[in-house]
Amino acid sequence: MAELLNGKELAKEIRQKLKEKVEKEQLTPNLAVILCGNNEASKVYVRNKSKACDEVGIKFKEYLLPNETKQEELLELIDKLNQDESVDGILLQSPIPKGLNIQEAFARISPEKDVDGFNPYNVGKLTIGEDGFIPCTPYGIMKIFEKYKIDLEGKKAAIVGRSNIVGKPMAQCLLSHNATVTICHSKTKDLKQELKDADVIVAAVGKRNIIKADMVKEGVVVIDVGMNRNDEGKLCGDVDFENVSKKASYITPVPGGVGPMTIAMLMNNVVKAHLMKGTK
């Protein structure tokens, strides 16, 4: 039976250390969050980020934009926040309404305030192994590996999902720790074949129970990024947890695995942005 990778507890530790640092050094980090449209899940995520900010001691301001917002209006707000010296981090909550260009918006956020790590400048820094802002979910997963002393060097790692938010930056993070990385996606012809030799699997596709026990080998490390609902309405991941956990050596639960770590690393990035500003 697999050992649970408790992201909830680790995230609590990280938030506590950040809180102590903010208090001891009398820091005043400030996060601006743009919520565009009426996506209910996004509202929940933003509330969770607000709570974490309160806990750590980060000032939090939410900017609500209606569904009818035009691209120019969104970019104008980003420009205004870029120029506001009191703002350390800018986060544009996704998804945004159809018709708006999220990549253009991410690119407009100043690289020094891009605490989500989605500006092309920070994407490039991650690719070439330089220090910048790492997207929060892959960063959180790497912290889980570090906490549980899971050695990645020379290991075969398979990522299911190729999003700019998780899949692609996750591949770069694993490569930086000398894993051999395969990225699987909707056009992968034989997912089972790709996964069966993997020492580490990161599932980030958003489809319930897509990873089954007969697709993984004994002793595999499984990271489940999926956030889905089962027939009873309970949160579940992309992995058939009940059966895969019997073969895995380590596995993240859903909820309580990757989700809390994503928010913890956002807090980390905001404090980092604030400290970077102070060194200029």
Please report which confidence band the pLDDT of residue 163 belongs to, taking 50, 70 and 90 as the band edges: very high
Among the listed residues 266, 253, 188, 186, the one whose alpha carbon sits nearest the alpha carbon of residue 18? 266
Report d(CA 188, CA 82) in Å as an integer: 40
The sign of the CA dihedral 197, 137, 150, 237 is: negative
Helix 258-278 and helix 40-56, axial crossing angle in degrees, nearest 10: 60
Q: Considering the entire predicted model, what is its pTM?
A: 0.97
**Local structure of 81: helix, strand or coil:** helix
Please report which confidence band the pLDDT of residue 144 belongs to, taking 50, 70 and 90 as the band edges: very high
For 92-109, the pLDDT digits (tens) are 999 999 999 999 999 999
* Percent above pLDDT 90 for the chain: 97
By the 8 A CB rule, do 90 and 63 touch?
no
The sign of the CA dihedral 178, 272, 89, 19 is: positive
By the 8 A CB rule, do 202 and 165 touch?
no
Question: Prior bond to 66 cis, omega within 30?
Answer: no
Residue 236 has what pLDDT? 96
- List, in sequence order, every residue forming a beta bridge with 59; answer none if it has no partner: 30
For 189-211, the pLDDT digits (tens) are 999 999 999 999 999 999 999 99
User: Exposed, middle or buried, 156 (CB in 10 Å: 0-12/13-18/19+)?
Assistant: middle
* Percent above pLDDT 70 for the chain: 99
Among the listed residues 241, 157, 79, the one whose alpha carbon sits nearest the alpha carbon of residue 92? 79
Residue 118 has what pLDDT? 98
Catalytic residue among 88, 93, 125, 172: 93
pLDDT at 280 over 60: no
User: Exposed, middle or buried, 44 (CB in 10 Å: 0-12/13-18/19+)?
Assistant: exposed
For 170-190, the pLDDT digits (tens) are 999 999 999 999 999 999 999
pLDDT at 50 over 70: yes
229-254 mean pLDDT: 96
pLDDT at 149 over 70: yes
Residue 279 has what pLDDT? 66
- Tell me whether residue 116 is one of the annotated catalytic residues: yes
Residue 269 has what pLDDT? 98
By the 8 A CB rule, do 222 and 246 touch?
no
Catalytic residue among 88, 113, 114, 116: 116
First to last CA, the chain: 50
Contacts of 159 (CB under 8 A, 6+ apart): 167, 170, 171, 174, 181, 182, 183, 184, 201, 202, 204
Please report which confidence band the pLDDT of residue 223 belongs to, taking 50, 70 and 90 as the band edges: very high
228-252 mean pLDDT: 95
Angle at 161 between CA 266 and CA 67, to 5 degrees: 60
- Tell me whether residue 93 is one of the annotated catalytic residues: yes
Domains of the chain: 26-112 (3.40.50.10860), 136-258 (3.40.50.720)
Catalytic residue among 49, 143, 247, 272: 49
Contacts of 58 (CB under 8 A, 6+ apart): 22, 29, 30, 31, 52, 267, 270, 271
